[in-house]
Amino acid sequence: MFVTPVIFTIFASLINGILSKSVELTFELPDSAVECFYQEIEKNTSAALEYQVITGGQYDVDVKIEAPNKQILYQQQKMQYDSHQFTAQQTGVYKVCFSNEFSTFSHKLVYMEFNVGPEKPLPGIGEHATVLTQLETSAEEIHSALNRIIDHQTHHRLREAQSRKRAEDLNERVFWWSLGETFAIMCVALAQVMILKNFFSDRPTLYNRK
């Protein structure tokens, strides 16, 4: 029969689509704003949240994960980056909030990755009853190794982005500060001379009035 495997595949992928979800988002967090994301998680499914502030202010953010029954599963204040893994105790909508409420003027860029459940298997794999051949086992191993590489790459990409933005910031600051400093020195030099001259001038001034 041709139809049964097709239906089975669709059904399997449908179920997988509901069970496993992975989303990576990088979003802007304006000053004194709260950004919340919601995700439905089934009971006993493990979920992992990873986040990092890429740029803005002191590179920190308040993070909170709330269970459907309003219980707070995870709460951190002024974190630069972290990850948290938990297993859903009940089915329902879980809420993840990023808050920049403590900051009144710095605009931030936040990366987050939210993984729910195990990775979606390829269609057809794991459905046959026979033992995996050596080739299949190695393919499986390579796949998980590559996944780890991609994860590490993402991590490095973010750290690099953070450092690069910091360096660009520093470059800019050095430029403006040096301009300001030069101007300040010139002003001070002129003022010093003027004031000193005033001390010895004959006309009564602000500094030598008796």
Site for other proteins in 126-165 (CB under 8 A): 128, 135-136, 139-140, 142-143, 146-147, 149-150, 153, 156-157, 160-161, 163-164
> Both tokens of residue 14?
């449908």
Q: Which of 58, 71, 124, 180 binds other proteins (CB under 8 A)?
A: 124
Contact 48, 114 (CB under 8 A): yes
Pick out residues in 14-43 that bind other proteins (CB under 8 A). 14-15, 17-18, 21-28, 35-40, 42
101 versus 127: smaller Cβ distance to other proteins = 127
DSSP state of 201: -
122 versus 129: smaller Cβ distance to other proteins = 122
> Both tokens of residue 129?
């009853």
22 versus 80: smaller Cβ distance to other proteins = 22
Instruction: State how far the alpha carbon of 37 is from the alpha carbons of 68, 87, 114, in Å.
Output: 13, 18, 10
Q: What is the nearest approach in angstroms of other proteins to the Cβ of residue 176?
A: 11
Comparing CA positions, the residue from 68, 122, 115 lying closest to residue 91 is 68
Q: Which of 58, 77, 181, 205 binds other proteins (CB under 8 A)?
A: 181
Quote helix, strand, coil % in the chain, to nearest 5.
40, 30, 30
The CB-side HSE value for 2 (13 A sphere, CA atoms) comes to 0
Pick out residues in 188-207 that bind other proteins (CB under 8 A). 189, 192-193, 196-197, 200-201
Stretch touching other proteins by CB under 8 A, among 45-53, 57-65, 76-84, 187-195:
187-195
Pick out residues in 49-78 that bind other proteins (CB under 8 A). none
Q: What is the nearest approach in angstroms of other proteins to the Cβ of residue 142?
A: 6
Stretch touching other proteins by CB under 8 A, among 44-52, 58-66, 79-87, 122-130:
122-130
Q: What are phi and psi of 44, to 5 degrees?
A: 65, 15
Instruction: State how far the alpha carbon of 51 is from the alpha carbons of 32, 48, 81, 83, 200, in Å.
Output: 19, 10, 6, 6, 65
Sequence-separated (6 or more) residues with CB below 8 Å from residue 206: 198
118 near other proteins, judged by CB under 8 A: no
